[in-house]
Amino acid sequence: MCGRWQCSFQLQPIEWMKGKVIGSGSFGNVHLAMDQATGSLFVAKSATSESGIFSLKNEANILENLDSPYIIKCIGKDFSLAKNGEKKHTLFLEYMAGGSLSDVAEKFGGTLDERVIHLYTREIVVGLRYLHQNGIVHSDLKCKNVLLGLSGNIKLADFGAAKKIYDGKKNVKTWMRSWDSCLGGTPLWMAPEVLRNEGLDFSSDIWSLGCTVIEMATGKPGWHIDRSNPMDEILKISRGDKVPHFPLGFSKEGIDFLEKCLQTDPRKRWTSQELLHHPFVDVRPGIVFSRKASDAFSPSSVLDVGSYDSYDSSDDECLEGSTPFPGRLKKMAARNVSEKDFQSSGDWITVRKR
């Protein structure tokens, strides 16, 4: 019997045209591509380095059994040898013309209106619930890794750092520390316990969700980092009991939602299932935020944004056999670290419409 992964690959392009490079990262390049049989557009994400190949393989393994309208779809893969004998791995992924939420916010003044954040957040939570029900932790949730369709639909993307911590057969608690010794993710969005290398759980994504909501509202990470010494600030986040700065002027429903996500004790964070019933993301008729009537409103969808926007994986890339994140913090502290070291991770990179 054919599984979903194999069946979905029957739809992968057999003859396809590679367009211009629309993005690049430490792992390789991303091309806009066209299926010559149908004329449809998709994204070809390729890697030749060992670290890039490892990340693409992990993304393929994670996506192979997933089927949700809130998760980016992988339509195929091509793992082959180049003419010079070099290994080349390519993933074929659906093209989301709206781009990332980070890019969308930039095009609309740097931030999003709370009513739009409410719509987007609900779909992100639905996507997280689906992942968690399937035993998967995304590990790198942020605006750069949330993509928007032209109709305003949201999809989670960039699963290069994702982990499957539960397969339905083993108790999740016994799997919390079973992930390999490396950690992916972006420090300013990572839960404190993950920064301390204490374990990975579904609640780690909930912390990142709170940080992502703050990012949508402010256009910046929730932490105000001292650019002169970012390493020291990151260490304080991992060891302290503080939470990111909440957006000014946010509704009481929005503040309460953030408080449910940004608990330093992971056991106190709400689950994705619980958050779906929170008033901040409730879509029932009559739900109104306690906001000023004069507050501005932004569109709930974006037409012809035409760009992806995500980070390259130069510093936070997940490598086989690499040291856990605390060890990498020490290494990075030994050199001259800039703020960009803490705002770059994952595989999805900047994609610009040409």
Centre a 10 Å sphere on the Cβ of residue 214 and count the other Cβ atoms it contains.
27
Distance CA 173, CA 180 (A): 16
Whether 158 sits among the annotated catalytic residues: the reply is no
Would you state the torsion angle of the CA atoms of residues 248, 215, 128, 285, taken in this order, to the nearest 10 degrees? 40
Task: State the catalytic residue, choosing from 103, 140, 312, 315.
Answer: 140
Tell me if 60 sits within 8 A of 91, measured CB to CB: yes
CA-based torsion, 302, 187, 25, 27: positive or negative: negative
* First-to-last C-alpha distance (Å) of the chain: 42
Distance CA 202, CA 37 (A): 41
Tokens of 116: 């739009």
HEC string for 112-136 = CCHHHHHHHHHHHHHHHHHHHHCCE
Catalytic residues: 140
